[in-house]
Amino acid sequence: MKMITQNTFDFLNQLNENNNRDWFADHKSEFQKIDKEAKSFFNEIYTDFQKDDSLEKIQFYRIYRDVRFSKDKTPYNKHLSASYARTKPMLRGGYYIRIENNASFVGGGFWEPNTEDLLRIRKEIELDASELREIINESTFKHFFGKLEGEELKSAPRNFDKNHSDIDLIRKKQFLVSRSFTNEEVLASNFKEEIIATFKAMRPFFNYMSDVLTTNLNGESII
């Protein structure tokens, strides 16, 4: 069974303190070792979770940062991460894992819905938010994630009533969930099982969004 080791946190902690190209070049062999271990771990999760969901190809995120449009010019990410998208067009939503010293988490949802999808979600909530409310207020959801997260508008979107009873959901631009893990929890032998359990806890939310995004407001399939 693949696992994340203390070496990963040690390297990422040192990288955080020495985030420059000279230091990284001197320690690249160390990075390549922990990167290989992490990818093996992420791949094992992908293989195991395929038994429970239909996933597209795994995506590994590079350690190198794109600093062209960022005020932060440090060249390297201080984490290792991967994501797993569900198989479109019928299944929507994506799973995400980040390994970072004292800041690891597992998350998922809808990071940047396109304009059409975002409007469709908002229209569904405007019509009837009871099913989504039931999902995010369910005890398992609250146990794993606490609440639905994501950036939101300060006021109502255009053509939506700012006094709508579900305006808190309609204002959202992102629909995300996350669960944090301590270093000790990441290093534990059951971490992979906890990740998969967390992914499974997202399923009712993902299934709801999949139903919304593959139908019109009358509930008729658009696929």
Q: pLDDT tens for residues 63-108? A: 999 988 889 999 999 999 999 999 999 999 999 999 999 999 999 9
Burial of 88 (0-12, 13-18, 19+ CB in 10 A): middle
- Model confidence, pTM: 0.95
Residue 100's pLDDT is 98
pLDDT band with cut points at 50, 70 and 90 for residue 1: confident
Determine the distance from the C-alpha atom of residue 12 to the mean position of all C-alpha atoms in its chain, rounded to a whole number: 20
Q: Where are the beta strands (DSSP E) in 38-166?
A: 59-60, 79-85, 94-100, 104-110
Can you tell me the distance from the alpha carbon of 89 to that of 78, in angstroms, rounded to the nearest whole number?
A: 33
Burial of 128 (0-12, 13-18, 19+ CB in 10 A): exposed
pLDDT at 182 over 80: yes
| Share above pLDDT 70 across residues of the chain, in percent, rounded to a whole number | 100
Residue 86's pLDDT is 97
Residue 163's pLDDT is 97
Q: Is the peptide bond before 89 cis (omega within 30 degrees of 0)?
A: yes
Residue 38's pLDDT is 97
The token duo for 126 is 């405007």
Residue 35's pLDDT is 97
Residue 2's pLDDT is 86
pLDDT tens for 50-67 read 999 999 989 999 999 998
Q: Where are the beta strands (DSSP E) in the chain?
A: 59-60, 79-85, 94-100, 104-110, 175-181
Residue 121's pLDDT is 98
Can you tell me the distance from the alpha carbon of 205 to that of 56, in angstroms, rounded to the nearest whole number?
A: 19
Can you tell me the distance from the alpha carbon of 60 to that of 37, in angstroms, rounded to the nearest whole number?
A: 13
pLDDT at 18 over 90: yes
Burial of 170 (0-12, 13-18, 19+ CB in 10 A): buried
- Residue for token digits 């994340």? 4
